[in-house]
Structures are given as structure tokens and as C-alpha cells.
Amino acid sequence: MQDSKNLMSSLISEKLAEWQIYNVNPESENYMNSAAQREAMEYITKHIISEMTPVKQYQLSIAYNMDTQEDQIKSILNEAKLAVLNHAITQNSRSGEEAMQNFNLF
């Protein structure tokens, strides 16, 4: 069961990182408002579902309800909410100098 939870966590972290890359905004110092949080959760859910293979579905079904696509969406979204909220808290609580460390790619 732990492997299934680790897989879900890994998939969500990967998609959250992708979303961050495509949505870098140096003007806002990466402040993540509620609209950006919703966009991130949608991005994560859509992309994990679109890349879902039967093997991944089986592995995730050990710890999560994966019977129907609706069940998959709910399971992924519930975990994505926690990851995005944790990321938003981290991003939104940094001082200006610490937040600027995220912009090394510029």
C-alpha cells in the first residue's frame, strides 16, 4: 500500500513541477493565489489521467479507488489538493529574497 501512495505522490510532484515551469511569473514572485491553485490542481489531474496506463491504474488501486474515471479523478484531486496547498503555503510565506532564489532559470 505504501508503494501505491509513493507512486501517487511521485506522479503529483512531477506534474506540479511541470505546472510550475509553464507558469513562472517573476512579477508576482511566484505568489500562488486561489485561481493559480485551482489551475495547478486541474493540470495535475488532467495530465495524470491522460498518462494513466493499466499498470499505473492497478498499482494505484491498491491504496486508492480507481474503478471508474470519476473515481480516478477524485482520488488524484484529493491528493493534489494537499500537494498544491503545501506548495502554496511554502511559496506564499517566503520573504522576497528567499522567493527570488526560485528564479535561477532567468
CA dihedral 21, 24, 30, 34 (to 10 degrees): -80
pLDDT at 68: 94
pLDDT at 55: 95
Owning domain of residue 75: 2-103
What one-letter code names the amino acid at 19? W
Q: Report the number of distinct structural domains present in the chain.
A: 1
Residue with cell 528567499: 98
Instruction: Give 18-77 pLDDT, tens digit per residue.
Output: 998 888 766 666 678 888 899 999 999 999 999 999 999 999 999 999 999 999 999 999
pLDDT at 26: 61
Q: The whole model's pTM is what?
A: 0.81
